[in-house]
Amino acid sequence: MFPTHRSRRLRNTTALRNMLRETTLAPQHLIAPLFVQEGLASSTPIASMPGQSRHGLDSLLREAEACAEAGVGGVILFGLPEHKEPEGSGAWAEDGIVQQAARAIRARELPLLLMGDVCLCEYTSHGHCGQIQPGDREGRVDNDATLALLARTAVSQARAGIEVIAPSDMMDGRVAAIRAALDEAGFTHTPILSYAAKFASAFYGPFRDAADSAPAFGDRRTYQMDPANGREALRDALLDVEEGADMLMVKPGLAYLDILVRLRQACDLPLAAYCVSGEYAMLEFAAAAGAIDKRAAVLEALTSLRRAGADSILTYHAREAAAWLRE
């Protein structure tokens, strides 16, 4: 006898499959990371990230407008200053490149959520995410001395029009320090999206090319998380909740879907996942080699992040995927 239950009955037609689909992916779920470089006249392609570029201000505005036209939910800005020094003061300069870019985008009144990455690695001459302990050549960052600089950067970005502050440095106590500084400066309604579970991943290579932010010595394993540790990731994320984070992020996304699921089960705050540069590059190069159908693979990958619990997704495919989803 045939079985009473046949799961295939509910897959029989396109209309039925669409009606019963459990996970949705829409353009407004996507956030586009954009690189803006001080002193750049137009744009420069990033060889390790096909289809992505470093932008000057004019080029950045055109890209932001294209994202808005495609229906992308927001953009997050990463700045590349002309000059770097050990402290990383370009991060909080009132005329810093991210601050200039934020004011320019806000002036266009685009229907985009404007987010700012808060970290010092792109601005320091040594490439680390905070202040190096005096005489330390192994990359150990002075956690507490860095907090004031991150808070200063967050306030500077908020003054320039950044709507969501996203600290990615992985210093202990940074969420509380940034929340206190924002509140004191009058930005009580500015939310914090914490890179709460950010791992010391091999998938960041293309980003470091794009942002010129590779450490000059040592590595970031003393402050970014060990890829082998899941319980620690949940513990750190929940500490950020206690400190006042409004949203949490898992980075990388595709390689850490299990962390995203576990964090979704442990916390009811909005969650973001970052499909990082190396994950983006793998999809691009595999598609270029004819190994995968790019459109199908990208949408499947992004859907997997939503299925695992992400409310929003940072992805370099944002504009392209949004256009596909609206067809």
Positions annotated as catalytic residues are 198, 251
Cα–Cα distance, 321 to 98 (Å, whole number): 25
Cα–Cα distance, 187 to 161 (Å, whole number): 11
Cα–Cα distance, 158 to 155 (Å, whole number): 5
The 10 Å CB-count burial string (b at 16+, else e) for 203-226 is bbbbbbbbbebebeebebeebbbe
Q: Where are the alpha helices (DSSP H) in the chain?
A: 14-20, 57-70, 97-108, 143-160, 174-184, 205-211, 231-243, 257-266, 277-288, 294-308, 318-326
Q: Quick one: angle between helices 97-108 and 57-70, nearest 10?
A: 50
SS3 content of the chain, % helix, strand, coil (to 5): 45, 20, 40
Supply the DSSP symbol for 245.
Answer: -
Q: Which two tokens stand for residue 71?
A: 């229906």
Burial class (CB in 10 A: 0-12, 13-18, 19+), 184: exposed
Q: Which two tokens stand for residue 272?
A: 């973001």
- Phi/psi at 274 (5° precision): -110, 110
Q: Hey, how many other C-beta atoms are within 10 angstroms of the C-beta on 306?
A: 19
Supply the DSSP symbol for 274.
Answer: E
CA angle 317, 43, 253 (to 5 degrees): 25
Q: Which two tokens stand for residue 254?
A: 């595709």
